Amino acid sequence: MRALPLSVVLSAAALACDIVPLGVTMQAAEVVPAVAETDAPGDPCEGFTQPGCVQAGCPEGQVCQKGPQCVPSLCSCDPQTGATTCSLDCGGGVCVDAASRCQPVLCKLLCPFGFETDERGCEVCQCQQEPRCACVDDVDCTKVVGGCCPCSLGGRELAIARDCIDRLAQCPVPPDEVPCVAIDQCTAKVARCVAGECVLENQI
């Protein structure tokens, strides 16, 4: 019969009854030190941002416009590999200046303080409210005519605080192209300060 190696016999005996035969010298098991973990690599998705403005939004004064540039509406980053996958569409949009998308407002209103604007910053056919600049005394107020036409040709008289004069809208067309009407609306009213606001009142 072929003899088995001593190491095999010892392994079998240990598994069978966990007893080492007398007279056999055992060598202590070698302790393998644990390998120190190295610093984990940086996040492969660090700095990842959505390519479109539909998800990320736009800075103040800009709006998100879809097309003609094709930008996906949603992308994601694999935290293990850093690979980016995006939706197969062009709905992401790009940020553009709001004013560049605005069309000139076509309106028959004459707005002394300019037109209201929508959420894009574009003018709409609605006049801005007269600014409520505070006054303390009559000297703080003055009478002006808003719009492009003088009061003798349909312009409307206003009483505003002197600090608000710079808020009057400039006439957008040359004087010789202003469509004024031959209606005299000039009055003898004067600008006075009443309850902190400038108003037109008849002279006493």
Distances (CA, A) of 9 to 12, 84, 165: 5, 58, 108
Q: Strand locations in 68-204, DSSP E?
A: 75-77, 84-86, 94-97, 115-117, 123-127, 141-146, 156-161, 190-194, 197-201
Per residue of the chain (204 residues), give pLDDT as tens. Answer: 455 444 444 344 433 434 444 443 433 333 334 333 444 467 888 888 888 888 788 888 787 877 667 888 888 888 888 888 888 787 888 887 766 667 777 777 767 777 887 766 677 888 877 777 789 999 999 999 877 888 999 888 989 898 888 888 777 777 777 788 889 999 999 999 998 989 999 987
| Strands (DSSP E) found in the chain | 62-65, 75-77, 84-86, 94-97, 115-117, 123-127, 141-146, 156-161, 190-194, 197-201
Radius of gyration of the chain (CA): 42
Dist. CA 155–CA 143, nearest whole Å: 12
Q: Where are the alpha helices (DSSP H) in the chain?
A: 6-17, 53-56
CA atoms of 190 and 174, how far apart (whole Å): 29
